[in-house]
């Protein structure tokens, strides 16, 4: 799978999702085609597990989350993991545990009374965690979080590559003065999306200008205020990468108030692919935050571990596909190149 991923220019997790035909995986047709062509060229044949040989056909996977109500992300992780587990006759149970201080005792009380195949621990925000000892006493996988010492395998979104992809899309559209309205300072997603933005600029020989980076907070108000501040500059941006779709909503409002047209006067790219993105006017080009796919990869990895496969303590990054809509304008030549 690593060879197929390298040849197709995608992550190993994407290869797994494509070749397993995971239902609900939001990958472009072009990405799926590249993976299948690479697999065929290398003569790779997917080894499928027989359902009857599942290591825990009569057991459960325990899914532990720190939050499910604020955003749709954790439920998407659960759904991806649940669908993958069901393919092998394994069911899942969920516990929502707020705070990590008494996590171990709550886990024991709520989940240890049943014979679990293993545990998946998912967080709403991508962040570092200190897993309680119970996670080291049974097969466990972390999703959207990681142990700094990498004592457990973890599945994370490819935020850095996503930030680079968003910025490169604007560059291919002919934009050269590209601003970033970033998320909350100190958050992993903000840090990595900024790094990807800077990498894309560097690769295109576009100097990094700190005046074009506005520190936001993920809310529409930050998108509005950031856009107003950026457009007051003597040399305002011709493209804006908003680090999430909610800030892009505010960005749209500000540009409309300023009398600027999207994408004719300025192009905008978001991140997360929230449902609202497709209904914005014009529909917002954005990147998928692949929580469903992350859940599927986590369940598959957990099944591998429970089945005796040594996977190491890998940190797997699942790529964030670009969803191209009408908020970025391409000329004929630029569009063909993209």
DSSP state of 319: P
The total number of structural domains in the chain stands at 3
For residue 26, what are the domain limits? 2-42
Task: Tell me if 54 is assigned to some domain.
Answer: no
HEC profile of 102-159? CHHHHHHHHHCCCCEEEEEEEEEEEEEECCCHHHHCCCEEEEEEEECCCCCCEEEECH
Whether 195 and 333 share a structural domain? yes
Task: Tell me if 111 is assigned to some domain.
Answer: yes
Whether 102 and 150 share a structural domain? yes
For 131-171, the pLDDT digits (tens) are 877 888 889 999 999 998 889 999 999 999 999 999 999 99
Residue 2 is encoded by which pair of tokens? 């690593």
Whether 198 and 94 share a structural domain? no
What is the average pLDDT score of the chain?
Answer: 87
Whether 284 and 302 share a structural domain? no
Binned at pLDDT 50, 70 and 90, residue 334 comes out as: low
Whether the model clears a pTM of 0.85, i.e. scores above it, the answer is: no
Residue 327's CATH number: 3.40.50.2300
CB distance 62 to 95 below 8 Å: yes
**pLDDT at residue 51, rounded to an integer:** 47
Task: List Cα–Cα distances, 178 to 50, 102, 283, in angstroms.
Answer: 50, 45, 19
């Amino acid at each position: 799978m690593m060879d197929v991923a390298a040849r197709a220019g995608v992550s190993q997790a994407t290869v797994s999702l494509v070749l397993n035909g995971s239902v609900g995986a939001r990958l472009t047709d072009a990405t799926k085609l590249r993976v299948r062509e690479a697999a065929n060229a290398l003569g790779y044949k997917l080894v499928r597990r027989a359902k009857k040989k599942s290591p825990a056909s009569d057991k459960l996977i325990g899914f532990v989350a720190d939050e499910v109500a604020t955003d749709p992300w954790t439920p998407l992780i659960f759904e991806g993991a649940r669908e993958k587990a069901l393919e092998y006759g394994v069911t899942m149970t969920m516990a929502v545990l707020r705070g990590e201080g008494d996590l171990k005792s709550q886990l024991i009380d709520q989940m240890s009374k049943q014979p679990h195949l293993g545990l998946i621990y998912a967080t709403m925000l991508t962040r570092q965690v200190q897993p309680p000892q119970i996670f080291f006493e049974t097969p466990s996988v972390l999703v959207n979080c990681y142990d700094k010492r990498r004592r457990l395998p973890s599945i994370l979104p490819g935020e850095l590559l996503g930030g680079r992809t968003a910025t490169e899309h604007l560059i291919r559209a002919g934009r050269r003065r590209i601003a970033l309205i970033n998320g909350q300072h100190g958050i992993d997603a903000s840090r990595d999306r900024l790094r990807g933005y800077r990498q894309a600029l560097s690769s295109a020989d576009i100097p990094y200008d700190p005046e074009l980076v506005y520190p936001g907070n993920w809310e529409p108000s930050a998108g509005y205020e950031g856009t107003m501040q950026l457009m007051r500059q003597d040399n305002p941006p011709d493209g804006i990468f908003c680090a999430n779709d909610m800030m892009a909503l505010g960005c749209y409002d500000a540009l409309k108030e300023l009398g600027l047209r999207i994408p004719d006067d300025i192009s905008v790219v978001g991140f997360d692919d929230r449902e609202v993105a497709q209904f914005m006017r014009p529909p917002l080009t954005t990147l998928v935050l692949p929580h469903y796919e992350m859940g599927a990869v986590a369940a598959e990895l957990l099944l591998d571990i429970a089945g005796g496969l040594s996977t190491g303590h890998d940190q797997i990054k699942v790529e964030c596909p670009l969803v191209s809509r009408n908020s970025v304008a391409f000329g004929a030549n630029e569009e063909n190149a993209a």
